[in-house]
Amino acid sequence: MRQQRSYATEAIILKQSDIGEADRILTLITPYKGKIRIVAKGLRRLISKNAGHLELLYQSRLQLAQGRNLDILTQAQGIKSFQHLRTELWHMTCGFYLAELVDRFIEDDTQHPDVYNLLLEVLCSLDMDALEMQQQRTQGTLPADQKYTRARLLLHYFEINLLSCIGYEPVFRICAHCSVDLRPEENGFTPALGGVLCPKCSHLWGQALSVNALKVLRLLQRTEWACMPRFRLDAYLQAEVEAVMHGLLRFHLERDLKSWSFMEMLNVTR
């Protein structure tokens, strides 16, 4: 049987890098081929008919031809551009952060339809959050101290579910060391063991974790985003949740992410 030389796929563009005089290598996450890299020939030319469908974070429908090393783009059609998040610097930075996470955690040519669907869900939600923010700003009803609370929770929702999809599900319901059920009291946390520790074990490892922080983490882990209640986190609680998630991500990646420093700078200057 003759091997098929071309195929179609949906994809979200994670990364771009220039090659040669006019070509570009694109890193994509796809539903059934996982993370792949392709060559888009002539994409940087002004007359390229595909350029408008292949911006970072676009969801597009692609036609690809199999190549010797990298597959080659032959046609592209945009599906979603997430236009609202592109008009908000914070939300766009969040989108780049999501793309960096997927690129760092997912190996090439490994099927991860759950990760593709998760990224698409969160980009759609981030886009809607940006639209709501624009509408509130126009109406003069945007709380200055709560501008990014919903978006930050959405990022943590993505982080928790991404780790679960790739086999690193955080341990938030039992002690990560002795496996006893966690009680509603101050517990501990250590990224090295993958989650939360009971008070007895937290004396051996980890840092303190409040009851409310654990409640938020559990809610993000077990609730669909569409059903997530709208609640506000004070600065201390937000910092606790963020410290847990950054600790887990840093432990598994063994490095910091480039997006973190820029997001922190935006948070300081907002």
CA distances from 58 to 18, 83, 183, 220 (A): 18, 9, 43, 26
Q: Which position has the token pair 């059934």? A: 32
Under the phi-then-psi rule, with left for phi > 0, alpha for psi from -120 to 50, and beta for the rest, what region is 38? beta
Q: Please determine, for residue 2, whether its predicted confidence score (pLDDT) is greater than 50.
A: no
Spatial separation of the C-alpha atoms in residues 130 and 92, rounded to whole Å: 9
Region 190-199: mean pLDDT is 95
CB atoms within 10 A of CB 248: 22
Q: Please determine, for residue 57, whether its predicted confidence score (pLDDT) is greater than 70.
A: yes
User: Is residue 35 a contact partner of residue 109, using CB atoms and an 8 Å limit?
Assistant: yes
Region 235-242: mean pLDDT is 92
Least confident of 107-111, 174-178, 261-265: 261-265
Q: Please determine, for residue 249, whether its predicted confidence score (pLDDT) is greater than 90.
A: yes
- pTM of the predicted protein model: 0.93
Residue bearing the bigger pLDDT, 136 or 218: 218
Considering the four listed CATH numbers 1.10.760.10, 2.40.50.140, 3.40.50.1820, 3.30.465.10, the one that applies to the domain covering 6-80 is 2.40.50.140
Region 35-50: mean pLDDT is 88
Percentage helix, strand, coil, to 5, in the chain?
45, 20, 30
Residue bearing the bigger pLDDT, 119 or 235: 119
Q: How high does pLDDT run on average in the chain?
A: 90
Q: Please determine, for residue 251, whether its predicted confidence score (pLDDT) is greater than 80.
A: yes
Number of H helices, E strands in the chain: 7, 8
pLDDT for the residue 1: 38
Region 1-8: mean pLDDT is 70
For residue 3, name the pLDDT band (cuts at 50, 70, 90).
Answer: low
For residue 49, name the pLDDT band (cuts at 50, 70, 90).
Answer: confident
- For 151, list phi and psi in degrees, rounded to 5: -65, -40
Nearest to 172 by CA among 128, 213, 118, 126: 213
Region 135-145: mean pLDDT is 75
Q: Please determine, for residue 168, whether its predicted confidence score (pLDDT) is greater than 50.
A: yes
Indicate the CATH number for domain 85-269: 1.20.1440.120
Region 94-112: mean pLDDT is 94
pLDDT for the residue 269: 47
CB atoms within 10 A of CB 193: 17
Query: Which residues, at least 6 apart from 201, have a Cβ–Cβ distance to it below 8 Å?
Result: 175, 176, 177, 178, 188
Q: Please determine, for residue 164, whether its predicted confidence score (pLDDT) is greater than 70.
A: yes
Indicate the domain borders of the chain.
6-80, 85-269
Q: Please determine, for residue 139, whether its predicted confidence score (pLDDT) is greater than 90.
A: no
Nearest to 35 by CA among 51, 15, 7, 56: 15
